[in-house]
Structure formats: C-alpha cells, structure tokens
Structure 1
C-alpha cells in the first residue's frame, strides 16, 4: 500500500481532515480535531490508535505492527508493506475509536460512516 492509498482511505471518512501539525511532510488525519492516523515524513508506514495498550501490545506481538514512535503506547505503526486489508481495517478501527470519543454534539454533526 502506498501513502496515496492510505490518504485516499482516510479522505473518504466523514469529517476527516488532513493536516501537518509537526511540519516537515507529515500527513496527520483528524476527525473533530483529534488524530486517528499519521504517516511520517519518512514514509515507512501509518500510525493508528487502538482501543488499549493491551490491544496494541497484542498486535505488536502478533507481528502486525510495531510501537508507534512518539505516540502513546495505545498506538501502533503499520508498515506500508502490510496486508492491504489489515491496513484498511486498522485505519477504520482507529477512526471509529477517535470518533466515538468526540462529544455527542460533534458526533451528531458528522455524517454516518458507511461500512
């Protein structure tokens, strides 16, 4: 999978916005001002949020990804060479986790996500 493919997946999500808050060519995808996916300037993969430190560790132990540098331990970094369906799934799960943490008012203002 490529950076462009990851960006295409993220851009299709309701309310998703692209920014570069760190400068230097990062693609940080946010919903409601909260990040759910980030591709670093080195273009090695995408970092996504999981529901817990334990889930992140389980995915790391299973070889799905590695600890996401500079992020909380509940985030993992998936190489762009990962299985495309796994990458897509992890991006969607991260989006759903972050979106569910938004205020009810903000959640209600966003269109529903299609499956």
Structure 2
C-alpha cells in the first residue's frame, strides 16, 4: 500500500479535510477540525486512533502496529505496507471514533455517513 492509496482512503471519508499544519510534507486528515489520520513527512506509517489504550497496546504487542509518535497512547502507527484491508479498516474506525466525539452541532454540519 502506498501513501497515495492511504490518502485516497482518508479522502473518501465524508467531510474529510486534508492539511499540512506543521509544513514539511505531512498528510494530516481531519473531520470537524479533529485529526483522524496522520502520515508523517517520512511517509512510512499512518497514525490512527483506536477505541482504547488496551486496543492500541494489543495491536502493538502483536506486531500489527507501533506506538504513534507524539500522539496519545490510544493512537497507533501502521506501516503503509500493511494489508490493505487492515489499513482501510483502521482508517475508517479512527474516522468514526473521532466523528462520534464531535459536538452535535459539528456532526450535523457534516455529510451523512
């Protein structure tokens, strides 16, 4: 899987917006102003949110992911060469977690799922 394909997965999420807030070639994907996926400028991993620190620890312990640098412990970094279905699942899941945590007003302004 390539950076471009992961960016396509992120862009396909309703209301997803791209930015490079720190400059230098980051791909930062947000919904309602909150990050749901992040590819660093090195471009070897995509960081995504999991539903808990326990899930993140499990993914790290089983070798599916690594600890996401600079992010909360509930975030993991998946290699871009991970199985495409795993990447797609984790991007969608992260998006839905972040979207669900938005205020009712912000969620109402987003396109439907």
Q: For 1:69 and 1:103, how far apart are their aligned partners in 2? A: 27
SS in 2 for 1:9: helix
Q: Which runs of 5+ in 2 are unaligned?
A: none
Residue 53 (structure 1) aligned with residue 53 (structure 2): yes
Residue 99 (structure 1) aligned with residue 103 (structure 2): no
Residue 36 (structure 1) aligned with residue 5 (structure 2): no
Q: For 1:4 and 1:108, how far apart are their aligned partners in 2? A: 29
- Could you say what the CA RMSD is over the residues aligned between the two structures, in angstroms? 0.7
Matches within 5 A, 1:103-114: 103-113=103-113
TM-score w.r.t. the length of structure 2 is 0.97
The alignment of Structure 1 onto Structure 2 pairs a total of residues equal to 113
Residue 85 (structure 1) aligned with residue 79 (structure 2): no
SS in 2 for 1:63: coil
The Cα of 1:71 is off from its aligned counterpart by 0.9
The Cα of 1:30 is off from its aligned counterpart by 0.2
Residue 24 (structure 1) aligned with residue 24 (structure 2): yes
Residue 71 (structure 1) aligned with residue 71 (structure 2): yes
SS in 2 for 1:91: helix
TM-score w.r.t. the length of structure 1 is 0.95
